[in-house]
Chain A
Amino acid sequence: MFQLIFFSILNGLVYGMLLFMLSSGLTLIFGMMGVLNFAHASFYMLGAYVAFTVGLHLGFWPALVIAPVVVGLLGALVERQGLRRVHRFGHIAELIFTFGVAILVEEIVQLVWGRPAKSYQVPAALDFPLFRVMSSSFPAYKAFMLVVAVAIFAFIFVILTRTRAGLIIQASLTHPQMVAMLGHNVPRVFMIVFGIGSALAALAGVIAGPVLGTFPGMAQVLGSIVFVVVVIGGLGSLSGAFVASLLIGIVQTFAVAMDVSVGGALAAMGVHVNTAGALHDLWRVTIAQVAPILPYVLLVLTLILRPTGLFGTRET
């Protein structure tokens, strides 16, 4: 039991930190531009694919740097050439635009890299079990993922609180109009932030690709969950995104580990339900089976009860 809990926490942390890498960029973009970027997970996928290709020629470590840069530039280009054009038509048009970009990226990835999953492997230098507790082992690569995620968190934190650029970005999160009034080139800041956000997503893709698989559906698989994190954490709030990422990561990991069914849980509490009725499926279902939908229940509840999210200060 201890072993299960211990590893569930570790896995939850790893998964949560991965979500954070994705949601940090999305939060920055949303906070500044008010755009819920549907294509964010697409940049994550591009990161994995570019890293795979670069890795074939130069190895994993150069790819770790090159892929985010390439994808970041691409993101900036998308902002400059596309998003900025539709900006004047309002948020709904922007949302629809990013939705289109997401479709297109998925198709382009299939066009360029083909449909089969790519065999993007963990680098040999990190391909060993870091430690063992009883019969389970914890791979070094997952520890590396944790380190990278923490480093990103620290990096963003320092940038936002210690540099002038960070102060401008932070100010833009709360008072975008005022920042423009103060003479900053807000469109350019937008472009840079969009680029950085995309690069962060790509970095997440680079390090998640070997673990979660590098295949054309990988963006769709994570796409909506990242939205959940950003909304629950509070739109535009980085610390909220951080907490929500870990929350979702750990909740989902633990839910899988629990084999209790709703009927069983009620029975344990002394309530007996008629399991033969029309809702019998509901009682039969175990928490493990509903684990994947928990985030969406949280999402809807949050939006209804507290649209600002856990830490957010403003609605859309």
Chain B
Amino acid sequence: MSTPVATRPFAVAGVARAARVRRYGLWLAAAVVLLLLPQSVRTGTAIAVMNQMGIAVIFALSFNMLLGQGGMLSFGHAVYFGLGGFIAAHVLNMAGRGAIYLPVPLLPLVGGLGGLAFAALFGSFSTRRAGTVFSMISLGVAELMAASSLIFDKFFGGEEGITTNRSKAPLLLGLEFTRDRQVYYLIAFWLFVATLAMYAFSRTPVGRMANAVRDNPERAEFVGYSQHRVRFVSFCAAGFFAGIAGGLFAVNYEILTAENMGLNASGAVLLMAYIGGIGAFVGPILGAVVFTFLQSMLSDYTGMWLLYLGILFLATVLFVPMGLAGLLMLHAPVWRARRVGRLLGPYVLTGALGFVAAVGIIGLLEMVHFVAAGRTGTRRLFWLVVAPRTLMPWLGFAALVVAGAVGVRWTGPRAVAAFAEASRPGRP
């Protein structure tokens, strides 16, 4: 921003070309990585988790069309994911019976249209209002749908949900979707397309106006836009992409249950988007990947993974409200100025001390869990075997917490100062 204005006309063509190369380059790189990823993994679990991530990323991005870009905090976004999924599952079943012709690769589109239809229905009244009232309506709609799922047994299949079978649908170009690896490519394709489309949406007139309405709905009305209508369009678009994610879910898991539409699913997507950062387009991508990673890996190691996730979430809200992506974004000037090297020392030191404290906290929590569960004996924690019913491990982990915390208090400000120094504009 300190660039003198006068240089702009001369530099602009070159900068624009470079920017374009880098931007399309990134999309291209993403496509290549998506294509090659399955080749690099050995286990089916990794494929399964990546499929889950792909669906979560689309869902989280669609959620952020509401929260990050439109300023609408929805507690019921999973409704559109779920309904899109249910409709896709029913259509897949019909295709399996031969009642209609629809190959599997097009199914997410069906889910998307389903999500869109219901978003248009519920959005027509809920987007009349913004802020807390909107949030409350979304909560009410979510609870309503959750309850309706018990009533409309035929459509929602009760507690058991609707199961379907992707290998019974007609083939398109001979593409089969029996193994997870095959489904991976389908998800990767839709992930790429949907992400591109959502990115493009944020760069359209109505996408921009969504930002404007988020910032200042009143003013938007005085430049010719109905805030209700702008929110409605964003809401429908978000419902559409959530429905695509739901359709992919139907293909991947071949089951949909009412809980896909429930409050917990809606809460999870909020966590993903927020931890990743709602201020940047890429935030929810990061959030969804991190969340799914933690969810699938952490839950194998500890029954309290939700506790850790909750702590991570609260810490984000309190200390890094811009999210992980926002945190990275803060470093963009440093990156540009090629001064990342200067931060390495203080960051590694603070990070290491923070890690020590975290190990201590996790150790203490796990031991509390152990004792509270009424267990006796020993258990493995990190690299140690500890006996939580003796004093020593408590002292040890407490010492780690204290040492780490004291250390961070000491090095933290230095790291912040180093950051401030490095991000100050000017010649290196």
A161 at the interface (CB under 8 A from B): no
Let me know if A212 is at the binding interface, CB within 8 A. no
Does chain A have a CB within 8 A of B175? no
Question: Which residues of B in the span 284-338 have a Cβ within 8 Å of any Cβ on A?
Answer: 304, 306-307, 309-311, 313-314, 317-318, 321
- Is B143 among interface residues, defined by CB-CB distance under 8 A? yes
**CB–CB B125/A296 < 8 A:** no
| Residues from chain B with Cβ under 8 Å of A300 in the complex | 137, 140-141, 144
A264 proximal to B (CB < 8 A)? no
A273-316 CB mask vs B (1 if < 8 Å, else 0) is: 00000101110010001101100110110011001000000011
Least CB distance from A123 to B in Å reads: 25
For the complex, is A231 an interface residue (Cβ under 8 Å from B)?
Answer: yes
Complex: chain B residue closest to A305, CB-CB: B125
A112 CB-CB contact with B under 8 Å: yes
Cα distance, A93 to B323, chains bound together (Å): 12
In the complex, the chain A residue whose C-beta lies closest to that of B137 is A303
Asked if B152 is at the interface (CB within 8 A of a chain A CB), the reply is yes
Q: CB within 8 Å of A: which of B131-156?
A: 131-133, 135-137, 139-141, 143-144, 147-148, 150-155
B384 near A: Cβ within 8 Å? no
> Which chain B residues lie closer than 8 Å to A228 at the CB level?
140
Residue of B nearest to A278 (CB): B154
- Collect the chain B residues with CB atoms within 8 Å of residue A111's CB: 304, 307, 365, 368-369, 372
Once the chains are docked, how many angstroms separate the CA of A107 from the CA of B372? 13
Judging by beta carbons under 8 Å apart, are B307 and A296 in contact? no
Contact with B along A34-62 (1 / 0, CB 8 A): 10100000000000000000000000000
Residues of B within 8 A of A113 (CB): 372
- A34 nearest CB neighbor, chain B only: B132
List, in ascending order, chain B residues with CB within 8 A of A2's CB. none
**Please, which residues of chain B bring their CB within 8 A of the CB of A307?**
129, 133
- Asked if residues B137 and A282 are in contact (CB atoms below 8 Å), the reply is no
Q: Are B310 and A281 in contact, with the CB atoms below 8 A?
A: no
Cross-chain contact B374 with A299 (CB below 8 angstroms): no
Task: Tally chain B residues at the interface, Cβ within 8 Å.
Answer: 46
A interface: dominant SS: helix
Tell me how many residues of A have a C-beta within 8 Å of chain B.
46
Instruction: Determine if B414 is an interface residue (Cβ-Cβ < 8 Å).
Output: no
Contacts of B424 in A (CB 8 A): none
- Asked if A188 is at the interface (CB within 8 A of a chain B CB), the reply is no
The CA-CA distance from A100 to B311 in the complex, in Å, is 8
- Kindly state the separation between the CA atoms of A112 and B364 in the bound complex, as whole angstroms: 12
A92 touches B71 (CB 8 A): yes
Q: Which listed residue (A82, A114, A296, A316) contacts B144, Cβ 8 A? A: A296
Q: Mark interface residues in A200-241 (1 if CB within 8 Å of B CB, else 0).
A: 000000000000000000000000100110010000000000
Residues of A close to B131: CB separation below 8 A: 91-92, 316
A93 touches B321 (CB 8 A): yes
* Nearest 7 Cβ contacts at the A-B interface: A293-B147, A107-B307, A316-B132, A299-B140, A104-B310, A103-B310, A296-B143
Q: Can you give 9 contacting A-B residue pairs, CB < 8 Å? A: A92-B67, A97-B317, A110-B304, A228-B140, A281-B152, A285-B151, A293-B144, A299-B139, A303-B129
